[in-house]
Structure 1
Amino acid sequence: MANEIVKSEDNGSAVAQYTGGVDLGGIMADELDGLNLSFDRIKIPSGGGLAFEVPGDDPDSPDSVKEFKAVILHHHPINCYYEEEYTGGNNPPDCGSMDGHIGIVAETGEVKSCADCPFNKFGSGKNGAKACKQKRRIYLLREGEQLPIILSLPTGSLGEFSKYVMRLLSKGKKTNAVVTKFTLKKAQNSGGINYSQAVFALDRVLTDAELAAVAPMSEQVKAMANKVAALDEE
């Protein structure tokens, strides 16, 4: 069943609805047999920029948007360690963890505990930070789309995301039960460097019908999340 968006009148205003889902497992088996599992990515700018970089019709010319709305299907911690300073590109990390607990060294396949790793300690990186970067990978479903898209939150945005999740939980809502609005604000770290920090706000609560359509997709994404490559998006 295709993911469709319809408009319904609610108190005189048009509200977009998620009225269906797709069988992600079936799509991946049919179309991606032997290929790497990957999704498009929304990127957060560096240096305090206030516009997201969102994939558009032209892969070489992404759209620049100051805000967007989506349902958070699933989110989980991800750790990335680069032996040499990261300078951009989609290079896999020298050691990566898809759950924030167990890391795998790319060259040797060695399995390490993130809790015991010296690169996961403050002071191991620049300006007293950790050499291994803690992030949060978020799988989003935007209106009118059938497949998830990924947003990776850098360390500087994790605090804001934690506060947002706690606000939802205090109201008895999980992140996949609402439409979230994403924006950016300029922030500054302890070293005086400006960076772009993601900000999250509740747009609206999903209807019962929408939640029934979104819930199965959330479970499918959760089941396949550890198969998506740990590429860096800074």
Structure 2
Amino acid sequence: MKNNELVTINENTGFLQLADFNLDEAMASELDGLDMTFERIKIPSAGSTVFEVPGENPGEPDTVKEFSAVILYHHPLYAYYKDKYTGGSNPPDCGSFDGITGEGDPGGSCAKCPYNQFGSGENGSKACKNRRRIYVLREGEIFPLILSLPTGSLKEFSRYIKRLLSKGKKSNSVVTRFSLKKATNSSGITYSQAQFAVDRDLTADEYALISKLSEQVKAFSTRVGHDTEPAGEEVINVDPESGEITEPLK
């Protein structure tokens, strides 16, 4: 590898190119004083079944029906705005990166917060928006991307993680295939719902490298604020009693 290269990319070697890559060093040497965050994979609204993924040219994302990547790390992301969030870098009035303790106004226990109860928001939802932030790495790349799962995709993600755990696997030990399906709420409004499936298991060598990067991403994640989240939230209906997303019978 040349001295002026971060790492030599070879898309045919899986994730083994990570052997020559250190996220902490790359961030310190190349992004010192710059916006130290990650590019995002976007889930569209209105029931579209294609993702927007970063392309070769900034500002011109590619659209794909599915993609495969390793889940490096994931965590809850709660955000409560007294006034409706319209985008930008405005931090929430209260937010949480662990789904346990909120920081701000009102702050405190998320479980006991009245704004984190079903029925406190529109259509029976929560006034505090519960999302899941996922850091993923695609083959042939060395920098992680962020995928933010909205409320309507959380149940499917939870089911997927439980299926992996039932087989003794962690989410960063497999390559996951991500896709979208069109879902419809009880009011007839469509929204995009993420789907997950195992593409392949990582090799032992790949997993050792991915595990190291996962720890680096986990440590760095506390420095990524709420401003990378989309302004909109898909319109869904939620049963205030059960918290279930209500959809019409097919």
TM bracket (short chain): 0.7 to 0.9
Q: Is the 8 A contact 2:120 2:127 kept in 1?
A: yes
Residue pair 1:77, 1:137 contacting (<8 A) in 2 also:
yes
Structure 1's 6 and 67: CA in aligned 2 closer, same or farther, altered over 3 A? closer
* TM-score scaled by length of structure 2: 0.82
Does the aligned pair in 1 maintain the 2:89–2:226 contact within 8 Å? no
Equivalent positions of 1:100-115 (< 5 A) are: 100-105=99-104, 111-115=107-111
The amino acid of 1:104's aligned partner reads E
How far apart, CA to CA, are the structure 2 residues paired with 1:43 and 1:71?
17
Check whether the contact 1:71–1:178 (CA below 8 A) recurs between aligned residues. Answer: yes
| Structure 1 counterpart of 2:41 | 42
Query: Given the alignment of the two structures, is residue 202 of structure 1 paired with residue 203 of structure 2, yes or no?
Result: no
8 Å CA contact 1:20, 1:210 repeated in 2: no
Instruction: Tell me, yes or no, if structure 1 residue 116 matches structure 2 residue 112.
Output: yes
Q: Could you tell me which amino acid in structure 2 is paired with residue 2 of structure 1?
A: V
Pairwise CA distance, 1:3: 6.5
Alignment correspondent of 2:51: 52
| Maintained 8 Å contact 2:72/2:210 | yes
Q: Which runs of 5+ in 1 are unaligned?
A: 8-15
What is the rounded CA distance, in whole Å, between the counterparts of 1:74 and 1:168 in structure 2? Answer: 15
Does structure 1 residue 179 correspond to structure 2 residue 195?
Answer: no
Uncovered stretches (5+) of structure 2, i.e. residues with no partner: 1-5, 233-250
**1:18 corresponds to 2:15:** yes
1:191–1:80 distance in 2 versus 1, CA, 3 Å: farther
Matches within 5 A, 1:90-105: 91-105=90-104
Greater shift after overlay, 34-43 or 49-58? 34-43
TM-score (normalizing by structure 1): 0.88
Checking the alignment, whether the CA contact within 8 Å between 1:3 and 1:145 is kept in structure 2 is no
- 1:101: how far off? 1.5
The alignment's C-alpha RMSD in Å is 1.9
Aligned-pair identity in percent equals: 58
8 Å contact 1:3–1:19 — kept in the other structure? no
Alpha-carbon deviation of 1:191?
3.8
Paired amino acid for 1:187: A
| Corresponding residue number in structure 1 for 2:240 | none
1:45 to 1:102, Cα distance in 2 relative to 1, 3 A: same
1:134 to 127, 130, 134: 130
Match of 1:12 in 2: none
Contact 2:94 2:107 in 1 (8 A): no
Match of 1:162 in 2: 158
